[in-house]
Structure 1
């Protein structure tokens, strides 16, 4: 039985026929179970509270590199890339992304293949082979090369570059051949050793949150999840807490003019706000976004558009 079962909550909204249950496994992994008897696809999403802010100095992009490596194989399923292949062959799709403070892995698949797909999630004894290491560093580098042709990615990295150097926001989070191959090698570091060390240090069950969406009833889903995920290590790792601000008043007064890859003109104004997570139910940013983005008469958009027409 899962730890915290007394906290189980089942919710059925008036317009929502799905059932929900929150459980905490004995290894402190938090899980949200969703039962939908009418679905023709099942899905799962695992969020880990570790991202590029946790990259070691001199190994920029290591968290993102780990995201790539976890797709390859595990002791139970040692054939390389069998996870992605299984999902694709059974009508589904899978992907992942690394953000500043968390990494997310997710997939959807046909109903009759869901249990095996869930079993193939790669958090228990992953194989991070030496052969795959160099290939995936090149894959990360290729991804970065693609981003260099994207104005959005270029502007994002430029903004990070113009922030406080002592704050992790300043880091280059994607990684490339230089940060994951050349520089570590010059310092006598083995990137694969550092990768395994990073995984063991940061990937702890108490920092993971899993959502499972299935056609089965809640009891069946809970039993399945408990069987497949209770063996994930829990090292009671503390979640990373960032202090200080990425931008001082000096950084907020910088005006940058850039030449884009694609032809066009764009004005981008950026400023920090208090983290909205403390007020997620009210969603104040939505109200502000609506006011700023309003296009009616008297709005900022209306004024700028009028000025553009009169010039």
Structure 2
């Protein structure tokens, strides 16, 4: 059944967009304020971003401990916000039962924020920590450098994130500007609220009308037009950077269309030719700015050959010529199919955000097609007359591939936790390797990953310890075709030919680098050293097992045919878990900030209590480390299952606090009393109702139980959560704090002198 939509304007001026999508099991809201960093006075860089942060710190009706962030986290949802140049977005996704509570808190915090000096003082330090991380991040610095290519009179070339020095809290003029900005722009006429979920449109409308009425009435305020982007001078950049002035309405959607075709990895495309010539391994297109007919966008090449820059530029200009001369219907059809697949597979949050931004997931309308013609006309040319277009993408087909009647191998576990509806299937294949795999193997599927991503299929290849793991999620027909292609690539992999195709690893935040290393650290098993370049030896002794989830009978038959090409030998799963002990592991990360992950593994019988303890600690961890101690802006805690091992996971990235001191603070939080309330217990139980869970989360949960070798059902998990009592939590806390508790600490600093933490007494925090 297709989605149903509705659009209306409320009495306070707010534009309300509604989307009923019956396939969803969660609901989302996305509110866009048409004001951003360039709308604040140039005297106060970072004011708009600072206000966005302040709005999350509670209101008189909903204090911080019951505000939007805590409420959504407690319901097992997602919440965030983003300040751009001319817009500010607030968005969350929750189970449907919690949607009204989240929407009430969102609208209330925007309408009646508490802007007292104590809150401002604390949050300015968080903004400053973000600024320090930004200044040390190579990718962020690279993007800022790109923005320097425009006119120095344009605000794009300036600094707008904010820091301790630009946010003059004690200056009355700053306080006046802060409140005036909120009063001027945070009103109905300046906002678009998008609601999306499985609820009927009338129910969504009633919720929108009820809670959005809290927002102040006000007309739309015209945002000041920007100065010229280039000021008559050529673009000052040697990058594949493009700037436009005076584009017609619909230009952002036209840029989406162009980005799809530039990043198209199918044979015959520009990117495919670049990859064939080994000039680059991948690319991405980023719209850096789009407002009032101006646009600035960048084509970033990954694993590129710098000596080929001129040839890459010429080839790209030839591709522009090919797009201009190609039949528009054929190109638009591919874009429409890609967009439809996304609309049919993404979650409520992505749909709500697409609607609120004015970039819905569908083909180009007449206005956008007119803008596309203007955009293409403004692009440079290389005089290329003919370029055959790529063939139709088979991964976008909804029909199942042919089956030859072969049965599924016994090594494939068919899970029943996902409904067999066709649009959300998951397949995971895991090999135990006899020798170390070459590093280039992880890049072997990179072109296919890009192709699968364009078809809304998640494809991932990981190498934790002595294992190689292939994961694929999406519509079942697309998953089967993608798995078949992935197996073909892996069987044909050659270390010799792959050496020149490796892409440099993307620079990432220190805490994300630690998270990426966690599976390998937990597996704690290494394959034998690679003594030969022979790739045949890699598969000769490999053993594999797999899990299929969400496939119907026809899908399983087609999958069985594809799995005939799996290299290695099928085998029963090896569920022997590695011995765990207290370990500190140093991981080199980019950037100069301190980062620490603490993973506390739990036995199966402890995991229900562990989930509840993690649920109850989310608020205190955030309050203590981020709000009170202001360690940094990257602070999180949760229960996680990694490599079949369930446990509590804590993460902190800080510009000034060393890892050992972070660990001491975490030790103190684990030692503090925690009260189990019936409300919190019931909220967590409801998170594991299948109707409230994202299909990807269900598939992950089922696979982790497969790795652990323990039978599991969501019903049994809910019952176990309901049986936990206060004494169980206290016993678990005692076990976690015992000297022999098998903590795993990943940090980007060397191991401190034992024992760690040195004591339960926390060192005084730096002011």
* 1:213 and 2:200 aligned: no
User: Displacement, 1:20?
Assistant: 1.2
Q: 1:71 to 1:106 in 2, by over 3 A?
A: same
Correspondence for 2:55: 70
8 A Cα contact 2:37 2:160, kept in partner? yes
* 1:246 and 2:217 aligned: no
Q: Distance in 2 between matches of 1:87 and 1:288?
A: 33
Which of 151, 154, 176 aligns to 2:141? It is 154
8 A Cα contact 1:95 1:107, kept in partner? yes
* 1:295 and 2:283 aligned: no
Q: Distance in 2 between matches of 1:222 and 1:285?
A: 30
1:149-194, Cα deviation, whole Å (9 max, x unpaired) = 222211222333453333222331211111113xx65xx4464443
1:26-65 superposed matches below 5 A: 26-65=11-50
Q: 1:284 to 1:96 in 2, by over 3 A?
A: closer
1:1-311 superposed matches below 5 A: 16-79=1-64, 82-121=67-106, 122-181=109-168, 185=170, 188-189=171-172, 191-250=174-233, 252-253=235-236, 268-274=239-245, 278-279=249-250, 283=254, 286-287=257-258, 290-291=261-262, 294-297=270-273, 302=277, 304=279
Larger radius of gyration: 2
Q: Distance in 2 between matches of 1:271 and 1:145?
A: 29
Q: Distance in 2 between matches of 1:281 and 1:155?
A: 23
Q: Report SS of the residue matched to 1:63.
A: helix
Q: 1:275 to 1:120 in 2, by over 3 A?
A: farther
Q: Distance in 2 between matches of 1:208 and 1:216?
A: 23
Correspondence for 2:754: none
Q: Distance in 2 between matches of 1:289 and 1:275?
A: 23
Q: 1:171 to 1:55 in 2, by over 3 A?
A: farther
Q: Distance in 2 between matches of 1:296 and 1:176?
A: 43
Q: 1:269 to 1:301 in 2, by over 3 A?
A: farther
Q: Gaps spanning 5+ residues in structure 1: where?
A: 1-15, 256-267
1:65-118, Cα deviation, whole Å (9 max, x unpaired) = 011011111232134562211100101010000001100000011111111111
Q: Distance in 1 between matches of 2:185 and 2:262?
A: 40
Q: Distance in 1 between matches of 2:253 and 2:149?
A: 32
User: Displacement, 1:303?
Assistant: 8.3
Q: Distance in 2 between matches of 1:94 and 1:118?
A: 11
Q: Report SS of the residue matched to 1:120.
A: helix
Q: Distance in 1 between matches of 2:252 and 2:242?
A: 22
8 A Cα contact 1:28 1:234, kept in partner? yes
Q: Distance in 1 between matches of 2:135 and 2:142?
A: 10
Farther-moved stretch of structure 1 (49-58 vs 213-222)? 213-222
Farther-moved stretch of structure 1 (55-64 vs 29-38)? 29-38
Q: Distance in 2 between matches of 1:211 and 1:26?
A: 16
Q: Report SS of the residue matched to 1:145.
A: helix
Q: Distance in 2 between matches of 1:287 and 1:193?
A: 43
Q: Report SS of the residue matched to 1:245.
A: coil
Q: In the comparison of the two structures, how many residue pairs are matched?
A: 277
Q: Distance in 2 between matches of 1:281 and 1:115?
A: 32
Q: Report SS of the residue matched to 2:127.
A: helix
Q: Distance in 2 between matches of 1:197 and 1:162?
A: 32
Q: Distance in 2 between matches of 1:152 and 1:111?
A: 37
Q: 1:89 to 1:180 in 2, by over 3 A?
A: same
Q: Distance in 1 between matches of 2:195 and 2:165?
A: 38
Q: 1:220 to 1:151 in 2, by over 3 A?
A: same
Q: Report SS of the residue matched to 2:222.
A: coil
Q: 1:296 to 1:86 in 2, by over 3 A?
A: closer
TM-score normalised to the size of structure 2?
0.34
Q: Distance in 1 between matches of 2:151 and 2:275?
A: 30
Q: Gaps spanning 5+ residues in structure 2: where?
A: 265-269, 281-304, 309-499, 501-767
1:263-287, Cα deviation, whole Å (9 max, x unpaired) = xxxxx33220247672459726633
Q: Distance in 1 between matches of 2:176 and 2:255?
A: 44
Q: 1:190 to 1:226 in 2, by over 3 A?
A: same
Farther-moved stretch of structure 1 (199-208 vs 162-171)? 162-171
Q: Distance in 1 between matches of 2:46 and 2:148?
A: 15
